[in-house]
Chains A and B, each alone.
Chain A
């Protein structure tokens, strides 16, 4: 939301996703599928942005109303939606403008209270998780062993616990390994940055549960190849084909 008092322009709402330029294809796919928004490139970043108010009201808001966000980002969405609905209802009065500016002042980086997030019901499903993994997960190799991890700000820890519980219950996708352990995540908190991460490093559970699960859901422009590379590297080091 741009401040109308500052630059004497109308109130503008923006939904945007910024990625590294290598991932331009993902944003183009999103733009093409939704049929809204623009894409522009600057330096090493590419941005997908929806700014047309009609597109925000008719496309973006119905999507997030139908399929709710799961992290603390849902609080920003609710405030942003409230502000958009105030604008949608008609010409802005001083009161409504003040209300919108108040909402804007408490959003994103300025948010201090996350209390209402405790009442938000978290429901993880495979497709949401796949999208979330695209953005937040890491597939890496440490001490010649692959790991999969997801990190979040500590105030979104609830969503990590829910993901860990969800992954424990995904079905076995590769059944040749005997007594394969189901995926159990280990949590660690970095106090200096207030970031909590959950990682899975058991090779059997990665290979037998998580990778087939991701593959079954159609992973993915970005994370699919990384996950495979991690496992292939592991196998090459450990003598598997």
Chain B
């Protein structure tokens, strides 16, 4: 990198700063883990979750808590079909070319609960 900084009269390049920054972060996490006696896996979990949900509009809008933000994440999660493995693939019902199999399966479940046939 061509960017140089002069800190304490020592010339450090950008990559060097990044390296020390990483060391600092790792040591910070290690200290938190060591002194608070919580598992490293838990910390990784928290960081991962934070990154996963960081884009949420609720956070951007400054809603009160992280947990509340989850309630507003529907739109993103709606697209996340991979979480369920046994979704029946789309079927073509000739008279309903524009109706998704997602809706039809929901409709059949709903009918199982509420419908009657006479």
Contacts and interface: CB of A to CB of B under 8 A. Distances in A.
B70 interface: yes
Given A64-B108, A216-B84, A33 B99 contact: yes
B113 A131 contact: yes
Interface string A120-133: 00010111111111
Interface in A6-43: 13-19, 30, 33-35
Interface string B70-113: 11011001101001101110010111100101111111111111
B115 A15 contact: yes
Contact of B112 (A59, A63, A132): A132
Nearest to A83: B117
A67 interface: yes
Contact of A66 (B64, B91, B118): B91
Best-buried of B65, B91, B94, B105 by chain A (most CB within 10 Å): B105
A182 interface: no
A212 B46 contact: no
The size class of the interface chain A forms with chain B is 35 or more
Contacts of B118: 1-2, 13-14, 16, 80, 108
Given A63-B108, A131-B105, A218 B74 contact: yes
A33 B105 CA distance: 13
A62 B91 CA distance: 11
A228 B93 contact: no
A49 to B, nearest CB: 9
Interface string A94-124: 0000000000000110000000000000010
B102 A77 contact: no
A71 interface: yes
A125 B95 contact: no
B74 A215 contact: yes
Interface string A172-193: 0111101000000000000000
Contact of A125 (B46, B74, B88, B107): B88
B93 A63 contact: yes
Those 6 A-B pairs whose CB atoms lie nearest each other, nearest first = A135-B113, A131-B109, A131-B110, A127-B105, A128-B109, A132-B109
Interface of B: 42, 45-46, 48-49, 64-65, 67-68, 70-71, 73-74, 77-78, 80, 83-84, 86-88, 91, 93-96, 99, 101-118
8 contacts: A16-B117, A17-B110, A62-B96, A66-B91, A66-B93, A125-B88, A136-B113, A241-B68
Given A127-B102, A174-B70, A176-B46, 4 more contacts: A33-B107, A62-B93, A218-B74, A235-B67
